[in-house]
Structure 1
Amino acid sequence: MNTNAGTQVAQQPANSKKQQRTFWLLLLTVIFIIIGVVYLVYWFMVLRHHQETDNAYVAGNQVQIMAQVSGSVNSVAFDNTDFVHQGDVLLTLDPADAEQAFARAKTALANSVRQTHQLVVNSKQYQANIALRKSELSKVESDLQRRIVLGHADAIGREELQHAKNAVDNAKAALEVAIQQYNANQALVLNTPLEEQPAILQAAAQMRDAWMALQRTRIVSPVTGFVSRRSVQVGAQISTETPLMAIIPAELMWIDANFKETQLTNMRIGQPATVVTDIYGSEVVFKGKVVGIDMGTGSAFSLLPAQNATGNWIKVVQRLPVRIELDAQQVAEHPLRIGLSTLVKVDTANQDGPVLANTVRKEPRYETSALTLDLAPVNQMIADVIHANAG
């Protein structure tokens, strides 16, 4: 009896441990099944509608600064990383040549005004000459009529009568010459006001061009932003094709996310996106939306596109750039730089948007008034020159 009792006491703890182990295994199994079911539900409801890529980088406008006229650089006002406002003078060129060209154009306008004014004065002179020729014609015609009467009475000789007829013919010819001279001069002036004469308009346009070239020796920033990639140096001789520097507007930033072609099936314009940048980490999550899907892959637009029709071909999954527009307020609070790495997630659940843009932009996407010159000062100068030389 004692032996059996001892055996039963030993089996009870063993059975208890086995039961506990079975319970915990069943519990863990149930927990894993629940986790699996929850994940499947979450994947079906949420995750399958999200496309993610870390092949995404910050992009922005790089406004290339180039001169509109050639010349030698006198001064460079800003350097890399400097902040500039729209309209700030970035650098200046030696204005000596432009000033001389403007002075020549101003002198040419004055000379043109005087020559054109002379044509107007000549019209009055030709009119007076016509009146004189008419008076002379009337006189010789009267003389001829008297001599004809005397000739019928044989009071004068035939030679004198012929001279009177010749005088009338000469007077008529002289009158015709005077009239044609007047008409030729009128063809040049055509009763047009002095300031609207073609020669003066041409000279005024040349003076205006020279003035604009002089103003453009001061190279201004077309946008507000930060100076980058400055290559111009003081004393350099530059042309209109010489890159000088770039201005990067800090507020005009977006993301170029290169998604695989297999990820684009359900992607549409207008879908929301989240962007995490390496510079700020997960503490700052930028909100954005898809605003466009590019019309070609990166390899198709590369400098040396792949020639898949030659040699041994290996299929490579292509990537297509997708533009993600960021929230402007977030970009202002957390400035970005061109080329920074990002992680982009796009929610593709709502597929109501178009695959490609189907509306035409009504307003210019980018514009500036900094390069537009106010012509009022030079127009006043032109008016003063015309007035001073019009007589």
Structure 2
Amino acid sequence: MNSAAQSPAAAPVPAPVPAPATRRKALLIVGGVLAVGGLAWGVWHMLALSRVESTDNAYVQGNVVQITPQVAGTVVSINVDDTDVVKAGQPLVRLDPADAQLALDQAQAQLGQTVREVRTLYANNSTLKAQISLREAEVARAQADLARAQDDVARRKPLVASGAVGQEEFSHATAQLSASRSAVVAAQSSVVAAQEQLSSNQSMTEGTPVDQHPSVQRAASQVREAYLALKRADLLAPLDGVVARRSVQIGQRVAAGAPLMTVVALDKLWVDANFKEGQLQRMHIGQSAKLVADVYGRKVEYHGRVAGLGAGTGAAFALLPAQNATGNWIKIVQRVPVRIQLDPKELAAHPLRVGLSMDVTVDVSDAKGPPLTATARTQPVAQTTVFDALAREADAEVARIVKANLGGRLRARS
């Protein structure tokens, strides 16, 4: 028979029971560790956490510039696409310039004709002055004829009674005297008419040179308008940035103001950090902030400053704002956007995109700055000089046309 089967089953060995002293010692160690941890957390909160306010409800924002045409037209060229980097003044879209070119040609011809017509007005002043001199000479000649006719009548009148001069001859002399008087009156009227005509013409020319004449200025404004319409067939980038949301297609007929694409200025981004109401008590403009973007992780840290506080919570500006005065109500802590300015150098080294999420920590220990109240801005938010050249070019085109149609003598006078 098997010996293993004949041996009795082994009795279970009970686990050793720790002594009461050992148990108490373990509990004291655990309690001491917890106490030290709590004390350390309290000291850390007092020295560090109480000096900062943090939120992970923060997103990158920027200027999203919408590109819209100023004139209607048909798209004949699209020079950029989404994700392309563009510089200020770079052509983005070109519209068909044929109609605008025809309008400019007509305006240029009209301006040249107007300049020549105004030149005629100025030249007529000299002509009308010569006409006055001529009419005054005619008055003098008529007065001389009148004096001679009066002498003839005076000599013949006493001779009529003696029969030395016939009645017929005296009648002819008398008729000549009447005709001479009428001629003097007519000549004097001609002088007055010529003077009035000169005065009328001078009222159209005096006090202004040819190129500043109202008729010329009106025609010049039409040239400027047509020139700008032609140049605006090329849609230029108003600032440096990246193209996004291109919707325009080749051959599309677009109206003035229709959105074609957007340009995002990635070198001028900021962060809107949505802090809870209770976190705003010690915030001030100018306080430093540390930011971390999820796209780079903790290895890249941005530094910024508090720039301002939003005018209201997100719920206040929502399309359908909450109506908390009706039905059952549960208080929900609101968040207010705080704008954080980013360091341009850090932004250039590690570019961001609009809409990326950020973790923001603001050091609220520095309370020297002004509170988060609205401040008056003294500088423009953004500006561009891309379109300034168009006005100068239009003025140069007007000056060229006027000079080409302005006579040398009148040009010297003006």
- TM-score in terms of structure 2 length: 0.85
Which of these two proteins has the greater Rg computed from alpha carbons?
Answer: 2
Question: Contact conserved, 1:92 with 1:218, CA < 8 A, in 2?
Answer: yes
1:193 equivalent in structure 2: 209
- Alignment match of 1:333 (pick from 332, 337, 349): 349
Mapped partners of 1:173, 1:255: distance in 2 = 85
Matches within 5 A, 1:352-363: 352-357=368-373, 359-363=375-379
Shift of 1:190: 1.0
Shift of 1:20: 4.3
Mapped partners of 2:327, 2:357: distance in 1 = 35
Question: Contact conserved, 1:293 with 1:355, CA < 8 A, in 2?
Answer: no
2:287 equivalent in structure 1: 271
Change (3 A) 1:229 1:191: same
Q: Which secondary structure state, in structure 1, belongs to the residue aligned with residue 271 of structure 2?
A: strand
Q: Which secondary structure state, in structure 2, belongs to the residue aligned with residue 114 of structure 1?
A: helix
- Alignment match of 1:170 (pick from 186, 192, 216): 186
Of residues 113-122 and 307-316 in structure 1, the stretch that sits farther from structure 2 once superposed is 307-316
1:152 equivalent in structure 2: 154
**Paired letter, 2:192:** E
1:128 equivalent in structure 2: 130
Shift of 1:169: 1.2
Q: Which secondary structure state, in structure 1, belongs to the residue aligned with residue 178 of structure 2?
A: helix
Change (3 A) 1:270 1:386: closer
Give the total of aligned pairs: 378
1:47 equivalent in structure 2: 49
Matches within 5 A, 1:92-131: 92-131=94-133
1:318 equivalent in structure 2: 334
Does residue 299 of structure 1 match 2:301?
A: no
Does residue 220 of structure 1 match 2:236?
A: yes
Mapped partners of 1:388, 1:329: distance in 2 = 53
- TM-score in terms of structure 1 length: 0.90
2:245 equivalent in structure 1: 229
Shift of 1:260: 1.3
Does residue 58 of structure 1 match 2:60?
A: yes
Change (3 A) 1:134 1:221: same
- Alignment match of 1:388 (pick from 404, 407, 410): 404
2:28 equivalent in structure 1: 26
Q: What is the root-mean-square deviation in Å for CA atoms of aligned residues?
A: 2.1
Mapped partners of 2:328, 2:37: distance in 1 = 47
**Paired letter, 1:129:** Q
Deviations along 1:247-299, one digit per CA (max 9) or x if unpaired, are: 11221111111111121111111112121222112222222221111111111
**Paired letter, 1:160:** Q
Shift of 1:384: 3.5
Shift of 1:153: 3.5
Question: Contact conserved, 1:126 with 1:181, CA < 8 A, in 2?
Answer: yes
The gaps in structure 1 that reach 5 residues or longer are 1-12
The gaps in structure 2 that reach 5 residues or longer are 1-15, 158-169, 408-414
Change (3 A) 1:293 1:384: closer
Q: Which secondary structure state, in structure 2, belongs to the residue aligned with residue 373 of structure 1?
A: helix
Shift of 1:243: 0.3
- Alignment match of 2:361 (pick from 345, 355, 361): 345
1:248 equivalent in structure 2: 264
Mapped partners of 1:307, 1:176: distance in 2 = 85
Q: Which secondary structure state, in structure 2, belongs to the residue aligned with residue 243 of structure 1?
A: coil
2:139 equivalent in structure 1: 137
Shift of 1:60: 1.0
Deviations along 1:324-362, one digit per CA (max 9) or x if unpaired, are: 112222211211111112222222112222223565333
Of residues 378-387 and 298-307 in structure 1, the stretch that sits farther from structure 2 once superposed is 378-387
**Paired letter, 1:255:** V
Mapped partners of 1:252, 1:379: distance in 2 = 34
Question: Contact conserved, 1:212 with 1:373, CA < 8 A, in 2?
Answer: no
1:76 equivalent in structure 2: 78
Of residues 290-299 and 324-333 in structure 1, the stretch that sits farther from structure 2 once superposed is 324-333
Q: Which secondary structure state, in structure 1, belongs to the residue aligned with residue 204 of structure 2?
A: helix
Mapped partners of 1:307, 1:183: distance in 2 = 76
Of residues 88-97 and 23-32 in structure 1, the stretch that sits farther from structure 2 once superposed is 23-32
Q: Which secondary structure state, in structure 1, belongs to the residue aligned with residue 197 of structure 2?
A: helix
Shift of 1:103: 0.3
Shift of 1:29: 2.5
Q: Which secondary structure state, in structure 1, belongs to the residue aligned with residue 322 of structure 2?
A: coil
1:4 equivalent in structure 2: none
Mapped partners of 2:384, 2:247: distance in 1 = 23
**Paired letter, 1:233:** Q
